Structure 1
Amino acid sequence: MSDITRHHTGQRMSQIVTHNGTIYLAGQVGEKGDSVADQTRSCLSKVEKLLAEAGSDTTRILQCTIWLADMADFAEMNEVWDAWVPEGHAPARACGEAKLAHPELKVEFLITAAG
C-alpha cells in the first residue's frame, strides 16, 4: 500500500495531500472583496507556495478546476491565468460557475500536480 502524506491538516481538510507521486491541493481562494484579478493572483501565489512545499512547481500541474462565482468574470480571470501558466505547460482545465463559501469570494482553484 502506498503512503498518503498530509500537510497543514485541520479538522476539515488538508492543504496538501500526496499519494503515489501525485499532489492534491485543497481549493485556494483569494482575499474576500478583492477584484477577480486580484483574487486570482492571490490564489495562484498560494498554489505556487504549496507546490514548492510539496516538491513540485507550476510546470508539473496536471489538472486545474476553476470555480467562478460569476462567469462574467471569465475573461478577467483568464487574463491573469494565461500570464501565469508557463508556456507549453498548460494543464487539463475546466471552469464553471458555482456559489462559493462566502459571497465576497469570486474565484477558487483546485489543483492536481505531479510530484
Structure 2
Amino acid sequence: MNDIIRIETNSRASRAVIYNGIVYLCGMTAEDRSQDIRGQTQQALARIEKYLALAGTDKSRLLTAQIWIKDIVNDFPIMNEIWDAWTVPGSPPTRATAQCDMGSPEVLVEIIVTAALPLQA
C-alpha cells in the first residue's frame, strides 16, 4: 500500500498531495493580486512549477488542468497566450477552462493541476 504524502498542510487543505505516483495540486493563484490577468497567470504558473518541484516532478508530466477565470470574455485570450508559452511543446495536459465567481474579488485566475511522478527504476 502506498503512503499518502501531503505538502504544506494546514487545518483546511494541503498545497499538494502525492499518492500512487500522482501529484495533486490545490488551486494556485497569484501572490500579488494587484496584477492584471497576465501577471496573475504568470505568478500562478510559477507557483505550480514550485510545488511540482517540491513533489519531485515538473510541468512536462502534467496530466490534467482546470483553469478558473473571472472574466473569460476579456481575459481568456491573454491567459491562453501565457499558458501556451508555459506548457512543454508536445506535452500539453487535458484541460478545462470555465468562468466563475472567485473566492476573493481580486483573484482573476486559479489553476489546478495533476501530474505524474517520474517512473522509478
TM class by smaller structure: over 0.9
Which residue type is aligned with residue 29 of structure 2? V
Counting only pairs closer than 5 Å after superposition, residues 35-74 of structure 1 correspond to structure 2 as 35-72=36-73, 73-74=75-76
Paired with 1:59 and 1:7, the residues of 2 have a C-alpha distance of 20
Structure with the higher strand share, 1 or 2: 1
Deviating beyond 3 angstroms after TM superposition, the runs of 4 or more aligned structure 1 residues are none
Paired with 1:7 and 1:52, the residues of 2 have a C-alpha distance of 11
Count of aligned pairs between the two proteins: 115
Give, in angstroms, the shift of residue 47 of structure 1: 0.4
Q: Tell me the equivalent position of 1:106.
A: 108
Which residue type is aligned with residue 82 of structure 2? V
- Among 68, 78, 82, the residue aligned to 1:80: 82
Q: Which runs of 5+ in 1 are unaligned?
A: none
Q: Tell me the equivalent position of 2:25.
A: 25
Which residue type is aligned with residue 5 of structure 1? I
Give, in angstroms, the shift of residue 3 of structure 1: 1.1
Percent of aligned pairs with the same residue? 42
Q: Which runs of 5+ in 2 are unaligned?
A: none
1:45-89 CA-to-partner distances (Å, cap 9, x unmatched) read: 000010011010010000000000111210010010000001001
Which residue type is aligned with residue 3 of structure 1? D
